[in-house]
Amino acid sequence: MKELRTKLKGRDLLSLRDLTGEEIHLILEEAARLKAMQKAGIPHPYLRGKTLAMIFQKSSTRTRVSFEVGMYQLGGYALFLSPKDIQMGRGESVADTARVLSRMVDGIMIRTYQQSEVEELARYADVPVINGLTDLTHPCQILADLLTVQEHKGKLQGLKLAYVGDGNNIAHSLLLGCAKVGMNISVASPAGYRPKDWVVELARQEARATGAQIQVTGDPVAAVQGADVIVTDVWASMGQESEQQERVQAFAAYQVNEALCAQAKSDFIFLHCLPAHRGEEVTSEIIDGPHSVVWDEAENRLHAQKAVMALLM
């Protein structure tokens, strides 16, 4: 365990591709420990005197609050940087921004559009870089999701997770995360909106080592059949607002509702990364119902992020 911690120190988290299954379990264990300490009122200033630069090209509720509050609880300081606050929004290169920030802070979190931008930032930074979200991946969200599933189900390996909706950054990171921890995953998306083939293939390669089963289908009923966990996301993510009506039509049969959830196990849990559009990708009966654990999931963003920062920084 100590060797694993040493290996994570100073590393970047750009995608769940960067972590082994063992490292994911270590992060979840650390998150659970930090959560218990916080609930018990036990101080845990492991990052006392350290500073995190938070670059937000995309706005957020959960990402900003979890990283900012997390750094405070860990004894450090988080600096919010919007495109209006830094020169990167006015044409300074990503590489130059990385070089400058590395001289002044101990870690960088970035929430942006292009995965390539995060990777370039990490290439030129001398401090850990954490991906707070890109259009391709959302590793921090899925760590919080896995923590939530583990809390409610007592394990991860062998469970079935069904994701219904857009084959987006959430779907990509769930595929990789589930495969690495031995969870079976079935993704149901309409044609033209499925996960990228190369991400699915990466997940299949990881699954060979853990015994996880990977399914990508156009049939939401087949995907949800016998599921322990059901996950969905908005049909039009940030930056796709102009496609809203087109997507509403394409995803009409992919709503998570009582009829669809009847195909899952009787004790299934429901996850959504939020914000949710009730009446679109999920009905109020499900997200506000007895199977929903979305508020635990949202809170766990704080604890998962704290574990990531504590271990990397």
Single-letter code of the amino acid located at 225: Q
Q: What is the pLDDT of residues 298-312, one digit of tens each?
A: 999 999 999 999 999
Query: What is the tens place of the pLDDT at every residue in 230-285?
Result: 999 999 876 777 888 899 999 999 999 999 999 999 999 999 999 999 999 999 99
Q: What's at 82, amino acid-wise?
A: S
For residue 141, give both structure tokens: 């969200």
16-64 tens-digit pLDDT: 999 999 999 999 999 999 999 999 999 999 999 999 999 999 989 999 9
Q: How confident is the model at residue 84 (pLDDT cuts 50, 70, 90)?
A: confident
Instruction: Give the pLDDT score at 176.
Output: 98
Query: Which CATH code, of 2.30.40.10, 3.40.50.1370, 3.30.1050.10, 3.30.43.10, is assigned to 1-137+301-312?
Result: 3.40.50.1370
The answer to whether 4 and 24 have CB atoms below 8 angstroms apart is: no
Whole-number percent of the chain with pLDDT over 90: 92
pLDDT of the residue at 89: 61
Which of 214, 212, 164, 207 lies closest to 189, judged by CA? 164
Sheet holding 51-56, edge to edge: 77-81, 51-56, 107-111, 129-133
- Name the catalytic one among 73, 228, 273, 291: 273
**Domain locations in the chain?**
1-137+301-312, 142-297
**Would you place residue 91 in the very low, low, confident or very high pLDDT band (cuts 50, 70, 90)?**
confident
Structure tokens belonging to residue 172: 């990509």
pTM of the model: 0.97
Contact 194, 219 (CB under 8 A): no
Summarize the annotated binding site for L-ornithine as residue ranges. Answer: 169, 233, 237-238
Give the residue numbers of the binding site for carbamoyl phosphate: 60-63, 87, 111, 138-141, 273-274, 301
Question: Mind listing the pLDDT tens digit for each residue in 178-218?
Answer: 999 999 999 999 999 999 999 999 999 999 999 999 999 99
Max Cα separation, the chain?
55
Alpha helices by DSSP H, listed for 9-160, are 21-39, 62-73, 94-102, 115-124, 139-153
pLDDT above 90 for 155: yes
Annotated binding site: 60-63, 87, 111, 138-141, 169, 233, 237-238, 273-274, 301
CATH hierarchy code of domain 142-297: 3.40.50.1370
First-to-last C-alpha distance (Å) of the chain: 17
Strands of the 160-164 sheet, one edge to the other: 214-217, 184-188, 160-164, 229-232, 269-272
pLDDT at position 244 is: 85
How far apart are alpha carbons 95 and 120 in whole angstroms?
7
- Tell me if residue 99 is catalytic: no
Residue 296 has pLDDT above 90, yes or no: yes
Host H or E run for residue 290: none
For residue 33, indicate whether it is catalytic: no
pLDDT digits over 161-177, tens only? 999 999 999 999 999 99
Q: Distance (Å, rounded) from C-alpha 120 to C-alpha 125?
A: 9
Tell me, yes or no, if 233 is annotated catalytic. yes
